[in-house]
Amino acid sequence: MTELRFNPLLRDWTMVASNRQKRPNLPKGDCPFCPGSGKVPDTYDVYAYNNDFPALSPTPPDPDPVATSLYQVAPAYGKCEVILYSPDHTTSLPELSVAHIRKLVDLWVERFESLSANPNHKYVFIFENRGPEVGVTMPHPHGQIYAYPYIPQKLRVELESCRHHHDETGRCLMCDINADEVRVGLRMLTETESFVSYIPFFTDYPYGAFISSKRHVSGITDFTDAERTDLARILKQVTAGMDALFDRSFPYMMVIHQRPVNGPDVNEYYHFHIEFYPPLQTKDRLKFLASSESGAWAPCNPTAVEATAPLLRAAIESRKAGTEE
């Protein structure tokens, strides 16, 4: 069963996807994402693969007959894709070359454009879950894309905040955040010609890095050829630094925030950026979302980011010479 259920308390939709219980859990044998599996081409560099256990579908079944005058249900319309980073089963994003990650960026652009063309899609969300600590069930290097038929609440709030800031100041909120982080400097991680990375003042994760474009653009399709390569470069720098920080594979959730699709024009006030949510506090200690964070949405960072940013910045610098190509 897959369907959408409306939460009237939060005015947001919940995806119900009981089919995802059938997903393979960290298979030790044959991998469907490896060449030779019959599921993917025998040769590829990066590849978009339709999710075998989607929460959203272009042809969803009718919802169960459980709606009432209070509770709304809707078909779980949309698209879920898996984005394979490499045919190598044991590699990861920071281990790929800049040239290879550029191919991934190009695939993200192509899929964003394709999924945006469907007028029923309202938000195209590109993301990666890395590591069993965040629930990864397939170890082969990959990310995902969800095309939602609505704008999820967190993104909706962020869009409203950016619009409000622009209405009050005439400026882009993310442009102002970038400028403040660069000016203060304490939380900066690294920068390239076209992007900046920092752990923002307000993050609730000790190593919750952002990557933001210096130029004001609202979507990945707006980047020039040089900016796409530069995005690949800074992605490698930041993720390689994360691995270097504790000398281990660094788990994270990485999400790309950009403009919605098939709706009002937000280009004037919304700004492309990438957010990381890494659960590690130390090499072997996780940050859990407990009652206050989950029940009240009251974030709590156990460490001031002015203390953690220099550690991650030093780790990025230690690997930077090996992350240019």
Write out pLDDT tens, residues 41-84: 999 999 999 999 999 999 999 999 999 999 999 999 999 999 99
325 part of a folded domain: no
**Region 166-182 average pLDDT:** 98
What radius of gyration, in Å, describes the C-alpha atoms of the chain? 20
Prediction pTM value? 0.95
262 part of a folded domain: yes
CA 306, CA 292: separation in Å to the nearest integer?
23
- What total of structural domains would you count in the chain? 1
149 part of a folded domain: yes
Catalytic residue among 89, 100, 121, 142: 142
Q: Buried b vs exposed e over 248-280: b needs ≥16 C-beta within 10 Å?
A: eebbbbbbbbbbbbeeeebeebbbbbbbbbbbb
Q: Is the pLDDT of residue 238 over 60?
A: yes
294 part of a folded domain: no
Q: What is the pLDDT of residue 18?
A: 75
100 is known as an active-site residue = no
295 part of a folded domain: no
Q: How confident is the model at residue 320 (pLDDT cuts 50, 70, 90)?
A: confident
**Region 204-230 average pLDDT:** 98
293 part of a folded domain: no
CA 201, CA 306: separation in Å to the nearest integer?
8
What is the domain range of residue 203? 2-17+25-287+300-320
Assess contact for 76 and 56: CB atoms under 8 A.
yes
Q: Which of 210, 246, 238 is nearest to 316 (CA)?
A: 238
Q: Which tokens is 132 given?
A: 């069993």
64 part of a folded domain: yes
CATH number at residue 205: 3.30.428.10
